[in-house]
Amino acid sequence: MRRGGPVTEVKTDIYVTSFGPVSDVEMEYTMDVFFRQTWVDKRLKYDGPIEILRLNNLMVSKVWTPDTFFRNGKKSVAHNMTAPNKLFRIMRNGTILYTMRLTISAECPMRLVDFPMDGHACPLKFGSYAYPKSEMIYTWTKGPEKSVEVPEESSSLVQYDLLGHTVSSETIKSITGEYIVMTVYFHLRRKMGYFMIQTYIPCIMTVILSQVSFWINKESVPARTVFGITTVLTMTTLSISARHSLPKVSYATAMDWFIAVCFAFVFSALIEFAAVNYFTNIQMEKAKRKTVKSLLEFPVAPVQRKRSTEETFTSTDANSNVRKRMNATVQSEADDASSPADMEIIISIANFRKISQQTRLPPTPVKIQVSSIENCIPVPVIDLL
């Protein structure tokens, strides 16, 4: 091409042989393509019986070629095994076909707010590095709809579905002039299967398990405590593992919100049990103190002791058939009936405390029976609340 001459039109088309993988962490994608360029160089017209002149790839350096580069490409590799994968042909009218096989790693800006229910449009932008549109322009060889081919078998994506592609062209202004930029957008939709198995289902099951702990007896404090702490640690582990496949973005994704809600349910279950256990212990201590105070303040009335002695004497004379019987009954009342030694309260405070600790229930009315040790004279039964 000669500077100051007519504008050179470069027709391009792309055939994708392999698309993928796509990296969420690096926000880039990789693909193998056959990149074709066609332009007319009138200086290479010739007459002869050969319609197409097939030249060796070593002749490429001897002929002018467009300085096409990929604007959002991170790395581009031209394959050279077993020989440089290039095709160079010249037609009679000076039309040149230049094809090469490339592996391109390009940037794919991602907005992960809806992750993992998100979709992305990964662009591939290319154009001239040095020639502005006043000297060279790009067009699609077969029109916008057919110039980019992506066969179904070429997709090697694991986490995405390739929905299709669209093409466009634009003009970019810079201090050196205006340049034509061709863009291909590859539309991707993320698959949910992996995240359902690895994150969503485990989180749901962990929340259910944390609620099951309420069915365990509240007296089983160690079991319920271990249960609650285990579910909290499980949610923490799931949250960390879910973040490994994502870049360190400053905003929260849909999965982050889901995990946060699950974590709140699990943590609230542990806090709720701790609160219930604390207030139950306070209530039990108050009930115990009230019961002991009632026992200490209960008045014991003196009971008069009665002694009843019945003696039967029988004597028999061996030499006669005379029988004598004498019955004597002596009743006496003691003046010291109010002595503390004659009274006993039949109750075991130690056993009462032991039973209260085992049942963890408010104390029930306690019946105390006061009786005389010697003659067991019953006294009215009194209930202690």
Backbone angles phi, psi at 235, to 5 degrees: -65, -35
- C-alpha distances in Å from residue 76, one per residue of 30, 32, 70, 110, 373: 9, 10, 8, 21, 107
Average pLDDT over all residues of the chain: 79
- pLDDT above 50 (res 335): no
Lowest mean pLDDT among 30-44, 107-121, 353-367: 353-367
Could you give the percent of the chain with pLDDT greater than 70?
76
- pLDDT above 60 (res 303): no
**Res. 299 pLDDT band, cuts 50 70 90:** low
Bridging pattern class, strands 119-128 and 68-70: antiparallel
Which residue pairs from 78-85 have beta carbons closer than 8 angstroms and sit at least 24 positions apart in sequence? Answer: 78/102, 79/103, 83/57, 84/57
Return residue ranges of the chain for CATH 2.70.170.10: 8-191
**Res. 11 pLDDT band, cuts 50 70 90:** very high
Q: What is the pLDDT of residue 301?
A: 53
Q: What is the pLDDT of residue 263?
A: 92
CB 35 within 8 Å of CB 106: no
Tokens of 124: 């591939």
Bridging pattern class, strands 73-78 and 366-368: unpaired
Lowest mean pLDDT among 17-26, 267-276, 323-332: 323-332
**Res. 99 pLDDT band, cuts 50 70 90:** very high
Residues 6 or more apart in contact with residue 186 via CB below 8 angstroms: 19, 29, 121, 122, 123, 124, 150, 162, 165
338 versus 294: which is more confidently predicted? 294
| Residue closest to 347 by CA, chosen among 280, 312, 295 | 295
Q: What is the pLDDT of residue 302?
A: 53
Tokens of 176: 């050196």
CA distance 339 to 363: 32
| Average confidence (pLDDT) over 164-188 | 94
Number of neighbouring beta carbons within 10 Å of residue 77 = 11
| Residue closest to 53 by CA, chosen among 105, 4, 88 | 88
Tokens of 112: 């992960």
- pLDDT above 50 (res 38): yes
| Average confidence (pLDDT) over 211-222 | 80
Could you give the percent of the chain with pLDDT greater than 90?
46
**Could you identify the residue written with the tokens 């109010």?**
338
- pLDDT above 60 (res 352): no
Lowest mean pLDDT among 71-85, 193-207, 225-239, 370-384: 370-384
Tokens of 12: 């391009």
Q: What is the pLDDT of residue 5?
A: 67
- pLDDT above 60 (res 10): yes
CA distance 52 to 90: 6
- pLDDT above 80 (res 358): no
Return residue ranges of the chain for CATH 1.20.58.390: 194-293
- pLDDT above 70 (res 310): no
Reduced to 3 states (helix: H, G, I; strand: E, B; else coil), residue 243 is: helix
Number of neighbouring beta carbons within 10 Å of residue 296 = 8
- pLDDT above 80 (res 72): yes
pLDDT in tens, 105-151: 999 999 999 999 999 999 999 999 999 999 999 999 998 889 999 99
CB 363 within 8 Å of CB 336: no
| Average confidence (pLDDT) over 40-69 | 90
Angle at 374 between CA 373 and CA 379, to 5 degrees: 55
Considering 15-19, 205-209, 221-225, 276-280, the range whose residues carry the highest mean pLDDT is 15-19
CATH class assigned to 194-293: mainly alpha
**Please, how many CA atoms are within 13 Å of residue 116, restricted to the half-sphere of its CB?**
22
**Please, how many CA atoms are within 13 Å of residue 254, restricted to the half-sphere of its CB?**
11
CA distance 242 to 254: 12
174 versus 220: which is more confidently predicted? 174
In angstroms, what is the C-alpha Rg of the chain? 49
**Res. 3 pLDDT band, cuts 50 70 90:** low
CATH fold, domain 8-191, is Acetylcholine Binding Protein; Chain: A, (2.70.170)
Lowest mean pLDDT among 59-68, 132-141, 190-199, 224-233: 224-233
- pLDDT above 50 (res 306): no
Q: What is the pLDDT of residue 70?
A: 96
Lowest mean pLDDT among 71-80, 119-128, 310-319: 310-319
222 versus 22: which is more confidently predicted? 22
- pLDDT above 50 (res 359): no
Backbone angles phi, psi at 291, to 5 degrees: -65, -45
Angle at 17 between CA 67 and CA 91, to 5 degrees: 50
- C-alpha distances in Å from residue 73, one per residue of 177, 223, 261, 322: 22, 57, 39, 141
**Could you identify the residue written with the tokens 């690895």?**
198
Reduced to 3 states (helix: H, G, I; strand: E, B; else coil), residue 290 is: helix
Tokens of 333: 């009342």
